[in-house]
Structure 1
Amino acid sequence: MPGSSGHSVAKAWPLAAGALLLALLWLGPLPIRAEGSFAAHMVMHMGVVALAAPLLAVGLARLLPASVARLTPSVAIVASFAEFAAVWAWHAPALHDAARVEPAIFVLEQASFLTVGLLVWTSAIGAADSRRPAARAAGIGALLVTSMHMTLLGGLLLFAPRPLYACAALCSPAATLTPLGDQQLGGAIMLAVGGSAYLAGGLVLLASILRDPASAAGGSE
């Protein structure tokens, strides 16, 4: 039926948009640029976790609402710690340098970013549709904790007095930037995109709870 087909397309467009964005990030010029530019590498990272992952999560929540809404609070909590571990581990100098020069390690890095980002956003969006206060609180906490640690890491990269990675000397950074300037630009991108996206997600989820009469009534009891 035409109406049903249109409704399905309306539900599925975030999933398609997220998949298209991943294709542009991974199959476009960025992977080659990222070999010699920390900032380009960060654009890919933020594109995966702060843009593609929430789009995919919204698409999954629309297509499988009952399944996503059943995610327990512990999933959001574990997901936030998993993303913290993945993001900080992959920005440790040894692992980051390896991902910049070894294709297999780069693929593993990007796959882990997508996995943990999708877990955080899906559990948080599932919490938004849940009537369980604990689930909603966990979803808000997962997004805000992720925003805080990305802000902290972005600030560290932005204000570090020297390049933190050997790849800054081994690779060829963007022609107009020094290795330190390239790293600082990457830190600014993490602050502006990563910290802001997760903070905005947490605040939107909090606002949806405050607007929900059932939640307000439950919280006042």
Structure 2
Amino acid sequence: MSESAVWIPYCGAAPLPAELAARWNFDPILLGALTIAAFLGLRFSAASPALRWRFVLAMALLFLLFVSPFCALTSALFSARTVHHLSLTALAAPLLAAALPVRSVPGGWGLWAGVHAATLWLWHAPPAYEAALSSHAVYWLMQASLLLTALALWRAVRAAPPTGAIFALLATMVQMGLLGALLTFSATPFYAPHALAPLAWGLSPLEDQQLAGLIMWAPGAGLYLAAALTILARWFSAEQAATSRPA
């Protein structure tokens, strides 16, 4: 039996390279949800151009991830799925967090760093991942849990003192690097839904998985490192400014 007959993920069966450009996702429920979210977000941020642009960028990224042909590409390549998840959690989530007021999140940065890490590892366990590509409901549970726990983490980071924010980001970087290393150095492919489709894209299933691990290990973890270094630089600048003021 072919892979496409077994695995029918939300974004559709895995496309061949020649088919990708035509594989837009015009699911009316998705488009309606994005439209409502865009309307509410733009209305909420109307008083602040800076907040509005952050929200617009986040919504444009969500459109790219779920409506453009990139959605279909994630059905074919696990490495594309990794880019999808990183874009959701390390780009869209912080943009949305930056478009919201700075407020403490119940549980604080320690809780949400742990919850988000557990969520990320859970959905990369083969049984959970295969369930998400077998059921639209489980697929959206995966996407929503990754985005919402990441959003809570980034909001907690914004509200935390610099030491807590930096620790949360570095802890997230480390656990993501460990997951990336596990995928990179595995001698066998883990994910049955990607057992055949990568071949049409010039990759073996193991090469696709290893590429996914490298993406998660280097640029993925690097996003959190960059955020931690940015907070550290701002902290040092504020400390220097405070000490240089005349008494």
What's the TM-score once normalised by structure 1's chain length?
0.82
Q: State whether residues 105 and 152 of structure 2, in contact with CA within 8 Å, keep that contact through their aligned partners in structure 1.
A: no
Could you report, residue by residue, the CA deviation over 1:183-219 in whole angstroms, capped at 9, with x for unpaired residues? 11111111233200111111211222122138977xx
Q: Aligned to 1:191, which of 217, 221, 225? A: 217
Residue 99 (1) aligns with residue 132 (2): yes
Q: Which has the higher helix share?
A: 1
CA deviation string 1:7-59 (max 9, x = no partner): 72233211111111111111112222222210111111011011111111111
CA distance in 2 between partners of 1:59 and 1:212 (Å)? 23
User: 2: distance between equivalents of 1:216 and 1:74?
Assistant: 30
- 1:123 counterpart = 2:163: no
Give the 4+ runs in structure 1 shifted more than 4 A: 214-217
**1:32-181 alignment runs, 5 A limit:** 32-60=72-100, 64=101, 68=102, 70-71=103-104, 74-127=107-160, 135-169=161-195, 172-173=197-198, 175=200, 176-181=202-207
Matches of 1:137 and 1:52 in 2, distance apart? Answer: 24
Measure the CA separation in 2 of the matches of 1:31 and 1:101: 15
RMSD of the alignment, in Å?
2.3
Partner Cα separation in structure 1 for residue 192 and residue 46 of structure 2: 52
Secondary structure at the residue paired with 2:197? coil
Q: Which runs of 5+ in 2 are unaligned?
A: 1-44
Count of aligned positions: 198
Matching residue within 228, 236, 242 for 1:210 = 236
Secondary structure of the corresponding residue to residue 48 of structure 2: helix
Tell me the distance in 2 between the aligned counterparts of 1:160 and 1:54.
31
Q: Does 1:23 align with 2:63?
A: yes
